[in-house]
A and B are shown apart, each in its own frame.
Chain A
Amino acid sequence: MRLQTPSSAPVLTHPARSGWRQHVGSLMLGRWAPGIQRLTEPPHALPQAPRSGWPVACALLRSPAAVVGLTVLLLIGLMALSAQFWYPGDPLDMVAQPLLTPGEDWQFPLGTDALGRDLAAGIVHGARVSLLVGLTAATVSVVLGSLVGALAGYYGGRADRVLTWLIEIFQTTPSFLLVVVVVSITQSTVGIIAVVIGLTSWDTVARLVRAEFRALLSADFVLAARSVGYNTPWIIFREVLPNTVAPIIITASVIVASAILTESSLAFLGVGDPNTISWGSMIGSGRDLLRSALYLTAIPGLALVITVFSLNLLGDALISALNPRLRGRTA
């Protein structure tokens, strides 16, 4: 058996690092194997981060909130993937008489807008945009944020000061305004918008990863890896970074939700991609008829709320699954 993570043996690693890592660690490893026993293993077995997330997944599936969130998200994902199958045409095309109310004509179950565009087609195709933007932005910010945070935390000193400075600049600049400015300077296509949202939200990840690195640097398994002679990239990416995965995942789920909200706000304001339908742009165009045709704004809005709500449910459940100490709390 290999010595797995330092977290299972907090006494011998870093006294200050009690708390949630310890619990995350024991959860990931299964609580049945006492950590102390592992330290008697031969020293050549280098510590490694857990490669399996199964225990966490099990803890997650035991929470009803997570199951509901996951199910709804899976359905929305399926809807997005099969959008071309249900509605092969362009959702921006006029297909019927304008302003059919929901249920008036069952060929268009959610009705049509002022230009005779099918609302249901818009919702299904809009799901693709929302999910795409959310996932892309989260990927960009996690990759960039982890890299910056890891370098700052690992090297410390001057590198840390410069990178922290960079983080602080992005923290103080209001990110929504920054996205609006950058998108209007460059181009407003869905891809660019997604990347720009990611580029303005990496600072949270970076701050988090930096703090984790600083705390983990003095851990035994890092010293062990150093003394065995592993090179720096190996230590950063294979030894320390896998131990910061839990907080990164939690932050990523928050970023996905906020990126979806940001994209919809942009589209609502008319700064989004004019050639792609999105829930935000549907709300924006339905806004003129707010008094006479409420369903035009209410339906895409509900789609947004349901998606973000499920994401937040999942995020909260992840926090408690990865950190049993916080179970029963929401913040």
Chain B
Amino acid sequence: MPASTLYQRFTRRFRSGFSGPLVRALPTAAGVIVLNFVLLQMVPGDAVDALVAEAGSATAQTTELLRQQYGLDKSPLAQFGDYLVQLGHLSLGDSPRYGMPVMDVISQRLPNTLILMGLALAISLGAGIALGTVMALWAGQWPDRVLSSAVFVLYSTPGFWIGLMAIVLFAVKLDWLPAGGDSTIGAGLAGLDAFVDKLKYAILPALTLASFFVAIYARLTRASVLDVLSQDYVRTARAKGLSPWRITLRHVLRNALLPLTTVAGAHLGGLLGGAAVVETVFGWPGIGRLTLEAVQAREYKVLLGILLMSSFIVILANVLVDGLHTRLDPRIAARLKGG
């Protein structure tokens, strides 16, 4: 067997799993790094300017020396090389403001944001799919009309405003949930209690963040389910006398939700952006609030670090979604294998 055929067979097998999407994502990741470097170069003043400002004063000679020391006198291309080497060491530089590596600053806040996003994604997918299915099954009737209008209003409402109104209603008027923060200060809870406590604080921000995406998924699910409902195999299932529940769950939803998996990956970036706003409204200490703190403190390394990390999270999520999609829908794998 010629080597080229073996190679092709190998790459095909390689591609059918998660590694294919990973390889395809590499150029994008490289591009994201370039974009971040360009933005870093656009920042007015450099690290030495900041240091000099901190020290109070410095002679022209000292600043020149410092620039040489930090490699800032090199050509942009050489500086880009340095940047890559730094990234290769999984480092984003040091933050003078926080007095520690930028990577540490971000990774301290990241789990909180991931909790919020995970919760919001679960809520929006769950509620969106449920609402969308109901809307499609009763298309044109009153449940569809009522829900469609409600979803349309959600779709048009800015998240931060929903958050503020939710605080007024649930925290101030009804006093059901805390208005902000991420845990009861000084309660000294552990184990399950601590978890429940955290959940109580997370629920309003997660609902707020989810609101827009509930609307999107409900609309998508409705369209997708309506599409599937008109397919022949659904008619066959009905003709076989299967129960409506079984048809909806096994025949309709399984097929209707496939397009949703791709879209959910693409929405991660939007979810991250939304988290920045929602975290500020609720005082949730995640990277969204860190972004704002960094803007106010002019900490561009932290700011760009967050942007880079977020982009990588989106890329990684898309790789996972791609792989999952291939697993869920055998037709895609077959298409790839067939060339």
Contacts and interface: CB of A to CB of B under 8 A. Distances in A.
Contacts of A58: none
B165 A176 contact: no
Interface stretch (B68-76, B80-88, B156-164, B244-252): B156-164
Interface in B256-274: 266, 268-270, 272-274
Contacts of A166: 31
Interface string B134-174: 00000110000000100111011111110011011000100
Interface in B203-248: 219-220, 222-224, 226
A186 B219 CA distance: 37
A177 B168 contact: no
Contact of B273 (A175, A264, A290): A175
Interface stretch (B92-100, B190-198, B303-311, B321-329): B303-311
A78 interface: no
Contacts of B298: 184
Interface residues of A, number: 46
Nearest to B313: A174
Given A177-B291, A261-B158, A172 B32 contact: yes
A306 B291 CA distance: 29
Interface in A292-324: 294, 297-298, 301, 304-305, 308-309, 311-313
Contacts of A158: none
A223 interface: no
Nearest to A271: B295
B300 interface: yes
B27 interface: yes
A173 B311 contact: yes
Contacts, number: 145
Contacts of B277: 176, 265, 268-269
B315 interface: yes
Which of B27, B269, B306 has the most A CB atoms < 10 Å from its CB? B269
Contact of B27 (A165, A176, A186): A165
A311 B44 CA distance: 38
Q: How large is the interface on B (under 10, 10 to 19, 20 to 34, 35 or more residues)?
A: 35 or more
Interface stretch (B35-43, B118-126, B181-189): B35-43
A174 B314 contact: yes
Contacts of B140: 328
A185 B158 contact: no
B148 A185 contact: no
Contact of A174 (B42, B164, B270): B270
Contacts of B292: 269-271
B32 A297 contact: no
A184 B222 CA distance: 40
B311 A174 contact: yes
B164 A301 contact: yes
B28 interface: yes
Contacts of A180: 276, 291, 295, 303
A182 B274 CA distance: 17
A165 B28 contact: yes
A330 to B, nearest CB: 5
8 contacts: A168-B27, A171-B266, A180-B295, A181-B39, A184-B300, A270-B292, A271-B292, A297-B161
Interface of A: 165-166, 168-169, 171-178, 180-182, 184-186, 257, 261, 264-265, 268-271, 280, 283, 287, 290-291, 294, 297-298, 301, 304-305, 308-309, 311-313, 328-331
